[in-house]
Amino acid sequence: MATCNPDEWVKLYADDLYKFAVIRVSDSELAQDLVQDTFLSALQAAVQFRGESSEKTWLMAILKHKIIDHFRAAGKATVTVSIHDSDPHHLFFNEKGHWNKEMAPKAWISDINSKQEQTDFYSMLRACMNKLNEIGKKVFNLKYLEEKESTDICKELSITTSNYWVIVHRAKLQLRSCLEKNWFRN
């Protein structure tokens, strides 16, 4: 059995755990609470840590489960989105469903070379994600950050597959629009 050093966890891993959590939940205070809960759970389970992975990997796994539990609890109610709720579709597509010429996707050219640029980008991504409606935020987090399967997300949030794909499509369009306006600025 590997030895855990709980006295060192905060110093060594708190920043990485916090960054991981805040990107996924888009809420600084909630991210802090989840990291704190992670450390408490790890402390309670420290004797069971077998050292099959690094302490950081083990703590990240605990945090992932805390985040999933948070979204699962938040998604207990059945949620649906009507076709007219914050639909950016008309901004990007014409009446025939083709891309509007000025809104068609363009390659993003941006090299993030420094730690500060990376921090700034993730701050902007969080700000853009915060502009999504609650269901859009939940679905995007579960699909692209937690890498859950679509069928599992539908079950977890009690939504239909067609509703799921509409939500994903809208979230992508909104995030693209926000990032292009505020970060990539072509």
The pLDDT tens digits for 10-37 are: 888 888 888 888 877 777 888 899 999 9
Residue 65: CA atoms inside 13 Å, Cβ hemisphere, count?
10
Would you state the pLDDT for residue 76? 46
Would you state the pLDDT for residue 71? 73
Pick the CATH number of 6-74 from 1.20.1050.10, 1.10.240.10, 3.40.640.10, 1.10.1740.10: 1.10.1740.10
At residue 69, the 3 state secondary structure works out as: helix
- Written in H, E and C, the secondary structure of 7-54 is HHHHHHHHHHHHHHHHHHHCCHHHHHHHHHHHHHHHHHHHHHCCCCCC
Domain with CATH 1.10.10.10 in the chain: 89-184
Has residue 124 got a pLDDT over 50? yes
At residue 93, the 3 state secondary structure works out as: strand
Has residue 108 got a pLDDT over 80? no
Measure the CA–CA gap between 93 and 123, rounded to whole angstroms: 29
Give me the DSSP letters along 99-167: BPGGGS---------SHHHHHHHHHHHHHHHHTS-HHHHHHHIIIIIS---HHHHHHHHT--HHHHHHH
Angle at 121 between CA 69 and CA 90, to 5 degrees: 80
Domain with CATH 1.10.1740.10 in the chain: 6-74
Window from 3-12, 62-71, 135-144, 146-155 with minimum mean pLDDT = 3-12
| Tokens, residue 25 | 């939940």
Please, what is the average pLDDT of the chain?
Answer: 77
Mean pLDDT of 79-106: 55
CATH topology of domain 89-184: Arc Repressor Mutant, subunit A (1.10.10)
Beta bridge partners of 82: none
